[in-house]
Amino acid sequence: MKVKVTHTLELNEVPAKVVELVSGIRARFARLASMPVNTTNLESFSNAVQAVRMELAICDSQLEDALNMQEGYENVMQQMTDTAAQLQPASAEDVQPEGEDEKV
């Protein structure tokens, strides 16, 4: 039975966690690629196909997890950038002295 597990990370740890997940998926694909398959025995072949399908389903789920983590990370980073830009004081060039109209 598959279960979904969540845990808390520091923001700066997210990219490494995504890389770790993708590395695990690549290793799983490598194992699948080297798995022996006997096509001359229907039962053996059927079992091998089922095992590959189960592994691919896990890979698909883990890829979705990695994508969601990266999207969440990118969204937070963009929000932080936007917030920092809004909080920066206007430069002296942007401030008009009182009483002076902007020249057009």
pLDDT at 89: 75
Q: Residue 37 gets which letter from DSSP? A: -
Mean pLDDT of residues grouped by 10 in the chain (104 residues)?
86 97 97 93 96 96 96 96 85 61 58
Residue 96's pLDDT is what? Answer: 62
Task: Give pLDDT, residue 2.
Answer: 78
pLDDT value at position 88?
A: 82
Cα–Cα separations (whole angstroms), residue 68 to 37, 65, 71, 72, 74? 34, 5, 5, 6, 10
As a whole number of angstroms, the distance between CA 64 and CA 56 comes to 12
- Overall pTM > 0.85: no
